[in-house]
Chain A
Amino acid sequence: MSRNVRPNAREDAAAGSGGAGAAEPGDGMLELDGVTRSFGPETAVENFSLSVSEGELLTLLGPSGCGKTTTLRLIAGLDEPTGGSVSVAGEVVAADGAFVAPEDRDVGLVFQDFALFPHLTVAENVAFALEDWPAEQRTARVDELLELVEMTDHRGKSPSQLSGGQQQRVALARSLAPEPDIILLDEPFSNLDVRLRVEMREEVRDILKRTGVTAVSVTHDQEEALSISDRVAIMNNGRLEQVGQPEVVFENPRSRFVASFLGRASFLTGRVRGGTVETELGTLPTDRFNGPVEAYDGAEIDVLARPDDLQATPTTDASADGQVVHRQYNGPNFVYRVELQGGDVVRCLHNHVETFEHCQPVSVDIVADHPLAWYPAE
């Protein structure tokens, strides 16, 4: 991937709440500095640095096996890094030789399968970490949390009597009960069915924001990551690819990997010539592009084109840019796959009433109203 990274991407400046990588120790609630975790010859997490500020909700996003869950376990103290350091609230909890046990960190974890204690009731689960609290305060805290997650009516039930969404609320309340500095969420919505998933996303974000806790979530679902997070950190092969606000990362993917992972990406071949970039779909001025594309004068580049950046119009064979080779109907819209005469294949997003037939010759226009991302040609 690294050879596809575009130099001087714009988003580094744009990402207000902390740039990619280079975390300065001590300025965030959570600091990861060069964290590495190897299992024998396999490296699950490699030289990973990240800073999460207080009250922020950050999501680690990546395909399965990218090391994101391992990272979470390293933060929780359920696993020990083989290199680098982890600090929570300014205190080093894992570094060369030093290791703070999970029970001695103020870090809560919501497990993927919730891991509720089956032998305890809902209220007893929430009270689990409050054993040393005076009875009155404990009851008050449990009541408060059950109210927060709207589970007051279910306090006496056993976990097996709860639905998936209810189990998740209890798991969240249980982790929040001891007022942790940081709360970690491991694939929090993957055990819920699709409809509930969308509902719980808003719900969980709302609860986290109300408590003001610092949260790190892990997911492989880009829509989930983009919709709930203050910032998204995209991981691949144990490394951090890019970190930033969801809209910034989405519009300015720093690498082809990030571009592809965040949405259906097509690439359009272009050539930089003077103040313009020539593509099969027309010649665009360089100021429509992100970053110093002029510096690549004479070179070939790949322009990122998402379905909503392109529009197809039916035309005659003679004036066509290409033809429709596939049609995907999604209900509210169509996504057409168009094979251009030069061989590139792009996708175009259209309203559900714009029906084109297979093999329909079309001309394609770039209708994006945002600067385009691009990568040096492979």
Chain B
Amino acid sequence: MPDDTSGVTDGGRTTVQPGSLRSRLGDLLPGALTAVSAVVALALLVPLVWVVVQATQLDAARALDFFLRPDTLGIAVNSVILVAAVTLGSVLVGVPLAFLTVQTDLPFRRFWTVVAALPLVVPSYIGAFAFASLVGPRSSFYGLLGTAVVLTLFSYPYVFLTTRASLRSFDGTVVEAARTLGEDRLTAFRRVTLPQVWPGVAAGSLLVALYTLSDFGTPMILQYDVFTRAIYLEFKVNNLGFAALLSLVLLGFTLVILAGESRLGTSAEGAHVSSGSRRAGRLELGVWKWPALGFCGLVAVLGLVVPLGTLVSWLFRAEPGYAAGGYAFRPEYVWNSLSVAGAAAAVAVLVGIPVAYLAARGDGLLASLPERATYIGYATPGVVMGLSLIFFGLNVAGALYGTVGILVFAYVARFVPQAVGIIQSSILQVDPEHDEAARSMGDGPLQSFRRTMLPQVTPGVLAGGALVFLTTMKELPATLMLRPFGFETFVTYIWKVQEAGYYGQAAVPALVLVLVSALSMAVILSRERYDVT
């Protein structure tokens, strides 16, 4: 589940604080930093160009044929329906849970808060895998229903967390103000609470929409024809032109959602006026406590108990299809996963530091451009990233094609913003005067960076690296498409036994991935404002 940590990092970034150093940065580090950052940004973008190139190589008649065939329209309609269904479902599950855990006297609120956030640690393809094995083949669960249910269950926590954050930052005294101005509880909620909490709900919804659009594993396993699945299938039959065209359309849809997100970003900013943090009294649920508990329990059962219970049950079943057979798990897969993830993390941190430093301390648009540019790779669905790098390998860098190098490149291109985001916010927390103090005592710019900045941002750098490492561990589509022949990781192994139906063999690696995923969530939650305790 490559994207499952997306905008959470993004959303937590703080704005640049003014420091007198900023104005002088241009003189002090002439070009070097900017050049490095620009090269990084360009390198991350070049592959995408090849999707466009590949698409234009298709002759006009075939291209027209592509756009006119019913399949294409069907895929687009399916994708829109799925995005709408999952987003709506996530709001219907996430918002009530956030409200119950923040503003009511629900029993065991802290417990439910953690439980409600936890499904995020189940990579959605693992969840889909578990549900598919439960319902058995040829169930009506396949298709839209199953895909929408599974994606909702494992992505609603985005809405839950963002709504919760805005409910918590919401100043309860305004509700009291509304009540002294003659509004009862319900009207006060409608006129005061809702308009202020809405940006949080919308932000979470857009994350869910973005995630749903780019998710690959769930529609593959549950066989629902959306863009990601269609692109992969065209790729499998070597119909690269169609795959490229589909990718472009998918990127277009992605841009629409991103545009919504950026508009939201500006309107939600500066919405806080009061520094007061006192919260109005919690709503007493009374007898409604029981349905509320039932709702929380149902979500927990579907999102946690069922998928994890299924994985655990595989450990103990010996029927054909569960027991050993087919493919044996080999220790080298673990090594393969760890080494590519480690390499991706190291490169992402090295590349991320100059970009983050420039964005945090530099001046103007030029300084923030590389940082902004890295998000393009981030928003690119893994299938499209995989495809673009295949084109890149075929057309330009033949030597890279089918190597671990191009795989690592794909991971870095996709996940470097996670590192940049965390490193940037730790740089922003460093007082610029520390640097000025060091400079006044005779340190040069680099020396000062090494002696004042680096020691203070090291925890952030490590966290950024850890996050890239953990996210890479569970990336599915680009890994499937770009891995060298015969190169198996945790994820490709799970994919292979899933396709073959040898569930039992997937249990241990799948549980390990859930653990990895949980660790990456812990990294994010420990550094961001989404306080779940």
| B328 at the binding interface (Cβ < 8 Å) | no
List B contacts of A108 (CB < 8 A). Answer: 180-181
| B286 at the binding interface (Cβ < 8 Å) | no
Complex alpha-carbon distance, A77 and B185, angstroms? 13
**Which one of A3-11, A109-117, A148-156, A315-323 contacts B?**
A109-117
Contact of A102 among B180, B195, B275 (CB under 8 A): B180
Known: A115-B171, A119-B271. A103 touches B177 (CB 8 A): no
Q: Is the CB of B274 within 8 A of A109?
A: no
Residues A47-92 near B (CB distance < 8 A) = 76-78
B268 to chain A, nearest CB (A): 11
List B contacts of A104 (CB < 8 A). Answer: 182
Q: Is the CB of B271 within 8 A of A160?
A: yes
Q: Is the CB of A117 within 8 A of B174?
A: yes
Contact-residue size bin, chain B (C-beta under 8 Å from the other chain): 20 to 34
List B contacts of A174 (CB < 8 A). Answer: 177, 181
Q: Is the CB of B180 within 8 A of A76?
A: yes
Known: A101-B184, A103-B182, A103-B183. A118 touches B273 (CB 8 A): yes
Residue of B nearest to A129 (CB): B181
Interface centre among B174, B270, B275 (most CB of A within 10 A): B174
Q: Is the CB of A109 within 8 A of B273?
A: no
Complex alpha-carbon distance, A114 and B178, angstroms? 12
Complex alpha-carbon distance, A174 and B174, angstroms? 12
Complex alpha-carbon distance, A128 and B184, angstroms? 13
Complex alpha-carbon distance, A94 and B165, angstroms? 36
A75 to chain B, nearest CB (A): 10
Complex alpha-carbon distance, A115 and B195, angstroms? 15
| B443 at the binding interface (Cβ < 8 Å) | no
List B contacts of A167 (CB < 8 A). Answer: 273
Interface size on A, residues (CB 8 A): 30
Interface centre among B177, B195, B275, B276 (most CB of A within 10 A): B177
Contact code string B155-182 (vs A, CB < 8 Å = 1, else 0): 0000000000000000101101111111
Q: Is the CB of B180 within 8 A of A78?
A: yes
B198 to chain A, nearest CB (A): 9
Q: Is the CB of A109 within 8 A of B177?
A: yes
Known: A101-B184, A174-B181, A178-B182. A109 touches B272 (CB 8 A): no
List A contacts of B178 (CB < 8 A). Answer: 117, 128
Known: A111-B173, A113-B173. A118 touches B274 (CB 8 A): yes
Q: Is the CB of B271 within 8 A of A118?
A: yes
Q: Is the CB of B273 within 8 A of A159?
A: yes
List B contacts of A159 (CB < 8 A). Answer: 273
List A contacts of B174 (CB < 8 A). Answer: 115-118
Q: Is the CB of B270 within 8 A of A112?
A: no
Q: Is the CB of B182 within 8 A of A115?
A: no
Complex alpha-carbon distance, A42 and B176, angstroms? 24
A165 to chain B, nearest CB (A): 14
Q: Is the CB of B180 within 8 A of A117?
A: no
List A contacts of B72 (CB < 8 A). Answer: none
| A30 at the binding interface (Cβ < 8 Å) | no
| A175 at the binding interface (Cβ < 8 Å) | yes
A262 to chain B, nearest CB (A): 29
Complex alpha-carbon distance, A129 and B191, angstroms? 11
List B contacts of A109 (CB < 8 A). Answer: 176-177, 180
A61 to chain B, nearest CB (A): 22
Q: Is the CB of A116 within 8 A of B180?
A: no
Complex alpha-carbon distance, A158 and B196, angstroms? 14
Contact code string A108-143 (vs B, CB < 8 Å = 1, else 0): 110111111111000000001100000000000000
Interface centre among B191, B271, B274 (most CB of A within 10 A): B274
- Of the A-B pairs whose beta carbons lie under 8 Å apart in the complex, a sample of 22, sorted by A's number, is A76-B180, A77-B180, A78-B176, A78-B179, A101-B179, A101-B184, A102-B179, A103-B182, A103-B183, A107-B180, A108-B181, A109-B180, A111-B173, A113-B275, A116-B174, A117-B174, A117-B178, A118-B196, A128-B178, A129-B182, A158-B273, A167-B273
Known: A107-B180, A167-B273. 13 other contacts (CB 8 A): A78-B179, A101-B184, A103-B179, A104-B182, A105-B180, A108-B180, A114-B274, A115-B173, A115-B276, A116-B274, A117-B177, A128-B191, A129-B181
Q: Which A-B residue pairs are the 9 nearest by beta carbons?
A: A129-B181, A113-B276, A115-B173, A115-B177, A109-B180, A102-B179, A118-B273, A159-B273, A119-B195
